[in-house]
Structure 1
Amino acid sequence: MDQRIWHIGVAVDDLEKGKKEFAEVFGVSWRPTRVRALTLTDAQGADHEVECHVTFSEGGPFAVELWESIPGTPLAAAPGGGVHHIGYWVDDIAQENERLSALGFGPHATVGPRPLLNTGPSGTVVELCDLHSDRPQLRDLFPAGSPYAGPPVLDSDL
C-alpha cells in the first residue's frame, strides 16, 4: 500500500477565478479543465447527480486539485472555505476503507459501491485514489513503479 499524498483538493466558487488566484499566489499553471458527470452518494444515502468542472496543477510530484463547488453535495466547499480533502494513492480500496473505518473514518461519499471520500473524527476528509485506475492527464503524479507512471497525456497530445 503506497499511501502517498499526491494532491490537495480545494473547492472554489468560480473555477476560472480560483485558477487565477492560485496561479498568482503560488505560481502554478493548470492542466486542461475536465468535466466529469458523476453520481455521488453522500453519508446519509442521498444520491447527487453532479457535473464537476475540475482541473489539476501541472508539475509534481504534488498537485492541487481545483473544482467548482457544488453546494448541497459532497463536492461543496468546505465550511469556511479552504482545503476540502487530501488525496492519496491506495493499492486496495476495499482494504483501505476497512482500515479507515477501524480508525473512525466514516463514509463521506461513494461512487456506486466504491468508497471515494471518508471523514475522520477530527473532520479531515480523505480521498482514496486507486493505483489501478489510469488517469492519463495525471500520469506524472503516479508513484514510481506504477504501470501508469510517466508523462501526462494532455488534450494537446491527443
Structure 2
Amino acid sequence: MTAFYHVCFVVPDIEQAMRDFQRSAGVQWSAPLADRLGEWDYRIVFSAGGPPFIELIEGPAGSAWDASEGARFDHIGFWSSDVRQGSRRLAEEGMPTDFSGCPYGRPFAYHRMDSIGARIELVDVSRQSEFLSRWHPGGGPMPAIDESCGD
C-alpha cells in the first residue's frame, strides 16, 4: 500500500535551486541537512508547507543523486507499508530497482519508470513520524496509506 507525498529534483547547487523556486513560485524551505549514505556525502532539503513536498538533493558524482550532467526531475516519492514487497511488485511490473537504501539500513528504494523518464521512490511508512518532526513540525497530517489498493 502506498501514499504519495513528494516530488524530487537532483541539483548541482541546492542553494541556487532553493532561491530559484522561492523567487519563481514563492516556495519556502526548511534548512538543508547534510547526511551520508555508504560512501556518499549529500545534502537534502524539503519545502515547508506540504504535503505534497518538493525535495531537492545535491549529491556527488557516481551517487544515486549524481547531477554532474545538470539538474533533473528525479523521482516521485510514496510512503509504503512494505518496501520489499512493493519493490518486488514494481520489478514484476517492468520497473526495475535502480537503487536501494536497504543494504545501508535505510528503508527506501528507487525504481525506474522509463515511461516518465524518472524514478518511483518507496519509503517505509515507519519513517513518517521522523520525517514529519524534521521537515514538517506542527504541520497537518500526511496522506493515509490506501489499504484498499494491493501492492
TM class by shorter-chain length? 0.7 to 0.9
TM-score (norm 2): 0.79
Distance in 1 (alpha carbons) for counterparts of 2:19 and 2:8: 16
Equivalent residue in structure 2 for 1:65, among 46, 50, 55: 55
Q: Does 1:7 align with 2:3?
A: no
> What is the aligned partner in structure 1 of residue 75 from structure 2?
85
> What is the aligned partner in structure 2 of residue 101 from structure 1?
91
Farther off after superposition, 64-73 or 134-143: 134-143
Farther off after superposition, 75-84 or 104-113: 75-84
TM-score (norm 1): 0.75
Relative to total residues, which structure has the larger helix share, 1 or 2? 2
Higher relative contact order (CA 8 A, sep 6+): 2
Q: Percent of counterpart pairs with the same letter?
A: 27
Cα RMSD between the aligned structures? 2.2
Q: Does 1:130 align with 2:124?
A: yes
Distance in 2 (alpha carbons) for counterparts of 1:78 and 1:118: 21
Does the aligned pair in 2 maintain the 1:104–1:121 contact within 8 Å? no
CA-to-aligned-CA distance 1:36-92 (integer Å, 9 cap, x gap): 1102xxxxxxxxx11111100001121110121422221113966331111111011
Return the offset for 1:14: 0.9
> What is the aligned partner in structure 1 of residue 112 from structure 2?
119
CA-to-aligned-CA distance 1:96-124 (integer Å, 9 cap, x gap): 01110111111111224355211124343
In the alignment, structure 1 segments of 5+ residues that lack a partner are 40-48, 147-158
Return the offset for 1:144: 5.0
Aligned residues: 136
Change in CA separation of 1:12 and 1:112 when aligned onto 2, cut-off 3 Å: same
Does the aligned pair in 2 maintain the 1:69–1:76 contact within 8 Å? yes
Return the offset for 1:145: 5.8
